[in-house]
Amino acid sequence: MAEPSYDLVILGGGPGGYVAAVRAAQLGLSVACVEREARLGGVCLREGCIPSKALLDSSEYVHLARGRFAEHGIGVGEVTVDLPAMMARKDRVVETLTDGVAKLLARHKVAVVHGTGRLTGPDRVAVTPADGGPEREITGGAVLLATGSRAAEISSLPLDGERVVDSTGVLALDRIPDHLVVVGGGAIGLELGSVWRRLGARVTVVEALPRIAANLDGQIGRALARFLKRQGLDLKVGTLVTGADTRGEQIRLTLHAEGRGDENLDCDRVLVAVGRKPLTDGLGLEEAGVLLDKAGRVVVDAEYRTAVPSVFAIGDLIAGPMLAHKASAEGTAVAEILAGLPGEVNYDAVPSVIYTNPEVAAVGATEEQLKERGVPYVAGSFPFGGVGRAVCLGEAEGMVKLLAHRDTDRLLGAHVVGPRASDLIAECVLAVEFAASAEDLARTVHGHPTFGEGVMEAAAALTHGRS
């Protein structure tokens, strides 16, 4: 029997692919979504954002019960951690959400094809079914590549899946490490390092650059480093791992820091979190005529079309930050473009969050970027120590920092390190999206007492700083 042809065939059922599938179906297109894993949702739902946040929240409860309840006058006795139970809860969270995606696609009549797909022409994809059946070919008016990325590796520290692990492995450790060394002080390293620190592990972060989370606004990054050090994370910046010697459970790492020479560091687990690489292997891209850039990313135009006009690509496969919500926004844009609508993404208004404690969130330009670009600006900030709600919670460290154009007052950047930063940034993203001025934010009445008052006060500080 001939395979049905679809308007859109999507490779990858992650936050890019499944969101594109739903939007395209809502716009009346027939859609097939090819996914090689049993569960939909991609790395984000299966082994990234979601399970890490489930563990993060569990570890936060441990931290509160052990260290913070007493200050509220609450006694709980000895606090113990049942790691298998914590992991089982995390798995249930993943199950609930990935099942939700499957139901969502079913409700929108998206044909889900379980198998590994490969581009075999401008309008066709060959799928090797996950259950081992014969290869089948699916055709579509358009093909969307949304296969995401995989963890990058370093040759001096090969993964062994047990002692030296990537971000997937570190979410499934069978015991709390005595000493976890995290190689890479980016979002993954800092979030997962924080999880295991709160569960009781000694944690050392080894970062090649002179600072952790180098993309952050400098002032915010320095504040974060201070908070993390206070929590007991040892941050070794400007340092490279040049060798590893594994003996039984123990690993001896050789570290090299410019000007300080070599030193050894003993640990029992290593997390390698040194970035991610687009997952293009085996997709048949070269044969089909799809071009990659020097970094191995798929080259696309402003409408996400590859060098083959009927083949589109989004998310971690293309340039830009490797963020789930960026992939989803691009997936929505492609679906709308295919339906004849003006789909586009405002990259100036894409937030980023690091889920440490306190959280860090940002949108728009950093102060360093504005200086570099020669944009005249005014900065305003407000500490959470002056935000009543944050003081009530007992989490009053950190600040909101806003940057606006000196002449027009247009909000150009917002940077938050502090409680609920991940939610507070939404207001700033909306302000950037609507081209609001700092004065708009300062004059917007905020409920009292709320964390959001920190944003309002930072905007007021900026506005007053101007006059």
Instruction: Write out the catalytic residue numbers.
Output: 448
Which range touches ligand NAI (CB under 6 A), out of 66-74, 116-124, 201-209, 302-310? 201-209
Q: Are strands 124-129 and 111-121 parallel, antiparallel or unpaired?
A: antiparallel
Shortest Å distance, C-beta 88 to ligand NAI = 23
Count of alpha carbons within 13 angstroms of residue 231, beta-carbon side: 30
Which range touches ligand NAI (CB under 6 A), out of 17-25, 103-111, 346-354, 437-445? 346-354
- Contact between 170 and ligand NAI (CB under 6 A)? no
Could you give the string, one character per residue 233-272, with x where binding to ligand NAI holds by CB under 6 A and - elsewhere?
-------xx-------------------------------
Nearer to ligand NAI, 24 or 361 (CB): 361
Q: Which two tokens stand for residue 43?
A: 């790395």
- Contact between 390 and ligand NAI (CB under 6 A)? no
Which range touches ligand NAI (CB under 6 A), out of 107-115, 135-143, 202-210, 379-387? 202-210
Amino acid symbol at 72: H
Residue 378: CB atoms within 10 Å: 18
Position among 62, 65, 104, 208 found at the interface with ligand NAI (CB under 6 A): 208
Q: What is the DSSP string of 296-360?
A: SPBP--TT-B-SSTTEEE-GGGSSS---HHHHHHHHHHHHHHHTTS-----GGG--EEE-SSSEE
Shortest Å distance, C-beta 339 to ligand NAI = 29
Note the helical H segments in 31-80.
42-47, 49-63
Cβ(49)–Cβ(324) under 8 Å?
A: yes
Residue 222: CB atoms within 10 Å: 13
- Contact between 187 and ligand NAI (CB under 6 A)? yes
Shortest Å distance, C-beta 127 to ligand NAI = 27
3-state helix, strand, coil in the chain (%, to 5): 35, 25, 35
User: Which of 94, 96, 111 minimizes the C-alpha distance to 13?
Assistant: 111
Position among 214, 257, 375, 393 found at the interface with ligand NAI (CB under 6 A): 214
Position among 9, 94, 112, 188 found at the interface with ligand NAI (CB under 6 A): 188
Which range touches ligand NAI (CB under 6 A), out of 98-106, 133-141, 184-192, 361-369? 184-192
Cα separation, 430 vs 422, whole angstroms: 14
Position among 352, 381, 437, 463 found at the interface with ligand NAI (CB under 6 A): 352
Residue 100 gets the label, from left (phi > 0), alpha (psi -120 to 50) or beta, of: alpha
- Contact between 209 and ligand NAI (CB under 6 A)? yes
Cβ(350)–Cβ(433) under 8 Å?
A: no
Could you give the string, one character per residue 270-309, with x where binding to ligand NAI holds by CB under 6 A and - elsewhere?
---xxxx---------------------------------
| List of residues contacting ligand NAI (CB under 6 A) | 154, 183-189, 191, 206-209, 214, 240-241, 273-276, 321-323, 352-355
